[in-house]
Amino acid sequence: MHAVITKVTINDRATAEGYLREQVVPNAQQAPGFVAGYWVRTEGEGRGVIVFDSEDSARAASERIRERIGGNPGATLVGVSVGEVVASA
């Protein structure tokens, strides 16, 4: 398994979370190879960990994220990376 890890700066909390729930989560769930996703908000920033069944699926999803994050008026993308899942509980 591989995961896409995202980091955003939250500019408008309500707008960012609405977009997350209405657009990001449903799109992630429909992505090929999707296993699970977790999105976490801390003070002023958000992080996502979206797990896929293969590296190819994760890399394809990371490209879609880079293309679509500009559609979220409440958040600014800081970074996207792909990594191998080496343990889970």
Domain count, the chain: 1
**Measured torsion, CA atoms of residues 63, 66, 70, 76, in degrees rounded to the nearest 10:** 160
| In a domain? residue 59 | yes
Strand partners, 83: 3
| In a domain? residue 89 | no
| In a domain? residue 8 | yes
- The whole-number average pLDDT for the span 27-51 is 96
What sign does the CA torsion over 7, 67, 63, 50 have? positive
Q: pTM of the entire structure?
A: 0.91
Angstrom distance (rounded) from CA 50 to CA 1: 10
Asked if the model's pLDDT at residue 69 lies above 80, the reply is: no
- The whole-number average pLDDT for the span 23-44 is 96
Read off the CATH number of the domain in which 40 is found: 3.30.70.100
| In a domain? residue 67 | yes
The answer to whether residues 49 and 5 touch, using CB atoms and an 8 Å cutoff, is yes
